[in-house]
């Protein structure tokens, strides 16, 4: 190529092509997304915007570069169905026969065995077609069975989340901090996991207090040391001797620490959606937590 303008044109066309493909097209597809209806409970819209304190916590998360070590995205390798018999009806033997005849992988079944201990999982780890065939097989006999959708994958097995994360999960966040390194555990559903606000505050102040051998740096600058007034503040962190402040002082979380913890507790991506089907283990609640301070 001998001419400057040709080079310019080549570069422009190549970049324009990739711009159309990865900036324009996704903007049309997912950039104008609105809240979706929750598949199971269609009256609820998902996602809900984070309440005020959690929104401030997102800014603290961003400012301290937490995304450098923590991801907020769950992956999924496949989806399985489970068939659960909820009602054996009046003729369990017919139910058993129907199941065997339906060739869904049940080679033998006894009516009495089926009728006992309901609700009972009769098939697990099967495809959607097999599951539907099983449900259709038992329905004429008067029994009732339901299908549960169970995503599978190592992240899900680690209890980091019930399903993969999709675009709808990040709709109202700015910036969307997905993270690219798992130096620490994934946080997409940390609001659903047991640690409560107090655990999170202790973990931020002294990570090795909450998780032995953790390599997370302590975020002491999110806390302050105050002189104890008449009586200790209810927010004071309970610390062991080697980390405790001198007598007469207590460590209380600054507003940023409370905000960050509120943000962490608001992180959940468990609503069943069209693109990420799931049978929730509990009643899905798209309602975000309130502004109440950490207990």
Partner 1 sequence: MSPETNQPVSGAPDSRQSPAKSVTVPIWLMVLMFLLLYWGALYFDQNGAWFSAKVYAPYRTLDQVEAFQVSSGASDVFEQGKAVYNKPTCAACHQTGGQGSPGQFPPLAGSEWVNEPEPGRIIRLVLNGLQGPITVKGQSVNNVMVPWNVLSDQDIAAVLTYVRQNKEWGNNAPAVTPAQVKAVRDKIQKTHPGPFTPAELMKISPAD
Partner 2 sequence: MTPSPSTSALPDAPAEAEIDSSCRLPLFVLFTGAATWVALASVFDLIASIKFHAPDFLTGCAWLTYGRVHAAAANALLYGFALQAGFGVGLRIFAQRGGARVCQPGLIALGGEIWNLGVLVGVVAILAGDSTGFESLEMPRYAALILSLAYLLIGLWTVLTLRRRREPGLAAPQWFLLAALFWFPWIYSTANLLLLAFPVRGVEQSVIAWWYSNNLTVVWLSLVGLAAIFHLLRKDAGSHARSGGCQTAAVSEADGGRGSERTALTPPLSHAMGEGGAALAGPGEGRLIGNDYRPLFAFWTLIVFGSWVGIPSTAPAPVWMPTLSTIATVLLLVPLLTVAVIVCGTLTPPPSHRMGEGGPALPGPAEGGGLPSSSSSSSSAASYPAVRFVKFGVAAWLIAGAMKIVAVLPGVSPFIQFTWFTAAQSLLNGYGFFAMTMFGAIYCMMPGVAGVDWPLPKVVRAHFWCSAIGVLLLVVPLAIGGVVQGIQLNNAEIVFMDLTKATLPYLRVSTLGNALILLGNSLLIGNLLGLSARYGWAHFVPVYRSMTRGPATMEVPS
Which of the residues 24 through 43 are near partner 2 (CB under 8 A)? 26-27, 29-33
Binding letters toward partner 1, positions 226-265, x by CB under 8 A: ----------------------------------------
Work out what residue 40 binds among partner 1, partner 2, none; the CB cut-off runs from 5 to 8 Å by kind: partner 1
Least gap, CB of 56 to partner 1 (angstroms) = 30
CB contact at 8 A, 159 and 192: no
Q: What is the largest CA-CA distance in the chain?
A: 86
Is 157 a residue that touches partner 1 (CB under 8 A)? no
Q: Which of 16, 30, 124, 244 binds partner 1 (CB under 8 A)?
A: 30
The CA–CA distances, whole Å, from 265 to 193, 215, 236, 294 equal 9, 22, 19, 10
Is 15 a residue that touches partner 2 (CB under 8 A)? yes
Work out what residue 86 binds among partner 1, partner 2, none; the CB cut-off runs from 5 to 8 Å by kind: partner 1
Q: Which is nearer to partner 2, 134 or 269 (CB)?
A: 269
Work out what residue 145 binds among partner 2, partner 1, none; the CB cut-off runs from 5 to 8 Å by kind: partner 1
Q: Which is nearer to partner 1, 39 or 187 (CB)?
A: 39
Residue 219's CB is within 10 A of a number of other CB atoms, namely 18
Is 21 a residue that touches partner 2 (CB under 8 A)? yes
Q: Which of residues 184-223 bind partner 2 (CB under 8 A)?
A: 184-185, 207-208, 211-221
| Site residues (vs partner 1, CB under 8 A) | 25, 29-30, 37, 39-43, 75-79, 81, 86, 127-129, 132, 135, 139, 144-147, 149, 153, 164, 166, 272, 274-277, 279, 283
């Amino acid at each position: 190529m001998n001419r400057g303008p040709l080079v310019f044109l080549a570069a422009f066309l190549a970049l324009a092509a990739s711009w159309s493909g990865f900036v324009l097209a996704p903007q049309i597809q997912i950039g104008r997304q609105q809240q979706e209806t929750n598949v199971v409970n269609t009256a609820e819209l998902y996602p809900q915007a984070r309440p005020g304190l959690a929104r401030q916590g997102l800014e603290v998360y961003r400012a301290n570069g937490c995304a450098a070590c923590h991801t907020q995205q769950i992956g999924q390798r496949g989806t399985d169905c489970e068939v659960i018999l909820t009602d054996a009806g009046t003729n369990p033997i017919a139910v058993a026969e129907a199941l065997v005849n339906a060739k869904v992988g049940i080679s033998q079944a006894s009516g009495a065995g089926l009728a006992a201990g309901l609700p009972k999982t009769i098939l697990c780890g099967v495809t959607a077609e097999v599951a539907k065939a099983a449900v259709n097989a038992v329905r004429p006999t008067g029994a009732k069975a339901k299908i549960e959708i169970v995503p599978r994958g190592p992240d899900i097995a680690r209890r980091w989340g019930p399903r993969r994360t999709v675009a709808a999960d990040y709709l109202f966040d700015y910036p969307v901090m997905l993270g690219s390194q798992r130096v620490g555990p994934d946080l997409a559903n940390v609001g659903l996991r047991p640690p409560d606000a107090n655990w999170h505050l202790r973990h931020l102040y002294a990570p090795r207090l909450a998780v032995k051998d953790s390599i997370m740096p302590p975020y002491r600058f999110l806390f302050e040391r105050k002189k104890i007034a008449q009586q200790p503040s209810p927010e004071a962190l309970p610390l062991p001797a080697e980390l405790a402040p001198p007598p007469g002082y207590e460590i209380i979380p600054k507003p940023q620490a409370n905000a960050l913890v509120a943000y962490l507790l608001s992180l959940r991506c468990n609503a069943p959606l069209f693109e990420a089907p799931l049978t929730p283990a509990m009643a899905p609640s798209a309602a975000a937590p309130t502004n109440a301070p950490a207990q």
